[in-house]
Chains A and B, each alone.
Chain A
Amino acid sequence: MTIQGWTLILLFVAMVLMLAKPVGLWLFALYEGRRTPVHCLLGSVERGFYRLSGIDPTEEQGWRRYAVHMLIFNTVLLLATYGLLRLQGLLPLNPQGFGAVSEHLAFNTAISFAANTNWQSYAGESTMSNLSQMLALAIHNFLSAATGIALAFALFRGFARRSATGIGNFWADMTRVTLYLLLPLAVVLALFYIASGVPQTLAGSVDVTTLEGARQTLALGPVASQEAIKMLGTNGGGFFNANSAHPFENPTPLTNLVQMLSIFLIGTGLTYTFGKAVGNVRQGWAILAAMMTLFLIGVTIAYWQEAAGNPVLHGLSVTGGNMEGKEVRFGIAASALFSVVTTAASCGAVNAMHDSFTAIGGMIPLFNMQLGEVVIGGVGAGIYGFLLFAILAVFVAGLMVGRTPEYVGKKIEAREVKLAVLAIAILPLVILGFTAIASVLPTGLAGPLNKGPHGFSEILYAFTSAVANNGSAFAGLSANTPFYNGLLGVAMWIGRFFIIVPMLAIAGGLAAKRHTPETAGSFPTTGPLWTGLLIGIVLVVGGLTFLPSLALGPIADHLAMVRGQLF
């Protein structure tokens, strides 16, 4: 570890904290349906969209209607993507002449992008045409992110409203977030990326004669426009196979910093928006404090392990930290930091190959996802996931003091706790269940590249990433098979929508409740005691469940690594 590395990490945290409030205020304006400066430019687009699709943006939707409209919209988009990928060979903007994407890969990819996961069983530069990248895939980067933020708004309204039947209007939330937040930011970021060296062209590739006279073909495409929203929407699906490690996706240390900041930008902003929505910004800061504490613990361990390096290679007279699967321009600190950011925030973009991290260094990204993607988390998904843990935490606190738990002015009763536990229990059930299936079936065991405990880690990582809707991989796993594409596709769908529906049910139930004023007997949900309790609940509920699986994978791998045992 170096002073330069820690400077980067601490300045990054400072920048994230400074951006939380302005972004949170912008989001709060959209939450309330107030005008923003961008309305002058795109206000007519918003109104036109409503008119053409017959939407009344002022209609208040109950939680069931909100959920159904959200699900149908996402299903339509998913089917459109499946169709576009299957017909790829017949469609324009395909300079490399790629054929149709196979049924199982198109199934997996369509769900993956619709569920804000962006798990990729394919290599972009040898599979997807420019049209597929732009229209079939990147559109989800906007809309799955906007859906996530809309859902967070719905839950905020559940806490904020009193004796209400509606939790907002899905179409209005989704459209406003897309037009007044995601699109303008994506335009600015895309221009910055192009200026920094990220290609933006409709050409498919360019041929090069190297200095030694060999031929090299460089894949190109409309990369920058996709890169901008891929980070901002915590989607993470790369244009190229190597994702943000590819010099054309992430050419400089400065673009790397901007990418990391864009991953956290909206997720941290939403914690502030939550505080504003419930009328006490300290509620939001308490959540952000818990998230950042968990984040910093993760970064410290990952950076320490990667900087310490691999003793197996030290034994072969290779000095220094672990550079296998890392880029020289980023080095160890920025690679370790990126890996924790991307898995804390459900993004899944990578600037280094997690599969080649040291055993414990690679366990941190895995563990971040197993906590349920609530350390900042995906845009929208992070905060609503975290609020489920908050409900659980006030319930536990209520049990300890023997009072009906309350949270931000709402009584938390049996219905809320049951639904929260349902949503939270899905995660370990599907991750561990599917990992177990893949670990005993021959078609599952054919997947891992690495042998020994690291091979098991590859399988565990894949299902964790799918259910947590992260999308990063221990990429040695050969996942482009009917078995993995199918099972991972199902896992991603469950991981997204089986959490959303109980969450919306909670939102609807809470909105209908009366306000419970805070009394001397209320458990305070701001301040260090509460933050500590939140961290404890996340670690115990989210983390402890997975300890046995971690012992079989990364921990066994670590013990082998320090003994120099190879597989």
Chain B
Amino acid sequence: MGKDILSSLRPALVMALLFGTLLGLAYPLAMTGIGQMLFPAQANGSLLYQDGRVVGSSLIGQNFNDPRYFHPRPSAAGKGYDGQASSGSNLGPTSRALADRVKADVATLHQNTSDLFVPSDLATASASGLDPHISPEAAFYQIDRVAAARGMPVARLRALVTQVIERPLLGFLGEPRVNVLELNRRLDGIGANGRS
């Protein structure tokens, strides 16, 4: 036993050093170099620019409170969509805090629509708190409000939402979904009079 320990010391220390250099430094740094060269947009966060400013990432959701915009899901990341504090609510199925939060959100949502039922994703917090998507149902659910706030025809908005729906890859990978930031950017591009 003592002999086994002694004989292990040099290989253990040297191997830790060698593998540390190879796996802990060379590998990630090489991947960074290659990634930055081949896929610079993705490697730096899939950022979206407008007039030279960074306005977001196509992968990360952001807060929208203005009734003229489509709203994302409730978020438990920091004070909402905090890109440095990803988190779900972690509230369990029998949590009173969860039920109270949903009740309040549903009451707010009901003010602007005649729909009786709220799509599940619109009243629940995502796992990351940064979910960029809502379901197509959740987008359609908000059309009345956005149309009223923008003075836009409902049909026009309906067509726009339909246009940006992402479909499942090969028919089975992923759910149909709408990227809220992209939808709202298109909305701004169109303008209040309904013409581009």
Interface residues of A (CB under 8 A from B): 4, 7-8, 11, 45, 49, 52-55, 64-65, 68-69, 72-73, 75-77, 80, 123, 125-126, 134-136, 138-139, 142-143, 171, 175, 178, 183, 186-187, 190-191, 194-203, 205-212, 214, 216-220, 222, 224-226, 240-242, 245-248, 251-254, 256-257, 309-310, 312-313, 316-331, 334-335, 350-353, 355-359, 362, 449-454, 457, 474-476, 557, 560-561, 565-567
Contacts and interface: CB of A to CB of B under 8 A. Distances in A.
B118 to A, nearest CB: 5
Given A49-B15, A73-B12, A123-B86, 13 more contacts: A52-B14, A201-B45, A208-B55, A210-B62, A211-B55, A247-B59, A256-B173, A309-B120, A310-B93, A313-B124, A318-B106, A328-B73, A557-B94
B49 to A, nearest CB: 10
20 contacts: A7-B171, A49-B19, A69-B11, A69-B12, A200-B31, A200-B32, A201-B35, A206-B54, A217-B82, A245-B88, A313-B99, A316-B106, A322-B120, A328-B134, A353-B89, A362-B92, A475-B87, A475-B88, A557-B92, A566-B99
Interface stretch (B36-44, B143-151, B153-161): B36-44
B96 interface: yes
Nearest to B54: A208
A183 B171 CA distance: 33
B34 interface: yes
Nearest to B58: A197
Given A331-B175, A476-B91, A80 B16 contact: yes
How large, as a class, is the contact surface on chain B? 35 or more
Nearest to B129: A242
A17 B28 CA distance: 31
Contacts of A242: 77, 86-88, 127-130
Nearest to A453: B94
A194 B39 contact: yes
Contacts of B1: 64, 68
Contacts of A219: 83-84, 86
Contacts, number: 395
Q: Which 9 A-B pairs have the closest CB atoms?
A: A253-B174, A320-B120, A245-B127, A135-B24, A331-B175, A476-B90, A53-B14, A353-B88, A242-B86
A180 to B, nearest CB: 13
A199 B57 CA distance: 11
A474 B8 CA distance: 39
Contact of B95 (A217, A241, A454): A454
A564 B159 CA distance: 40
Interface in B93-111: 93-96, 98-99, 102-103, 106
Contacts of A355: 88, 90-92
A81 to B, nearest CB: 10
B134 A325 contact: no
A242 B57 CA distance: 17
B195 interface: no
Contacts of B59: 197, 247-248, 251
Contacts of A241: 85-87
A194 B43 contact: yes
A225 B94 contact: no
Contacts of A358: 93
Contact of A327 (B8, B95, B126): B126
A220 B172 contact: no
Interface string B1-37: 1001101111111111011101111011001101110
Given A72-B5, A561-B93, A319 B118 contact: yes
A236 to B, nearest CB: 15
Contacts of B90: 325, 353, 355-356, 449-450, 474-476
B169 A254 contact: yes
Contact of B91 (A199, A203, A356): A356
B8 A68 contact: yes
A567 B12 CA distance: 51
Contacts of B91: 324, 355-356, 449-450, 476
Given A197-B42, A560-B94, A254 B56 contact: no
B34 to A, nearest CB: 7
Contacts of A226: 28
B162 interface: no
Contacts of B55: 208-211
Q: Identify which of A139, A216, A217, A324 gathers the most chain B CB atoms within 10 Å of its CB.
A: A324
A310 B12 CA distance: 52
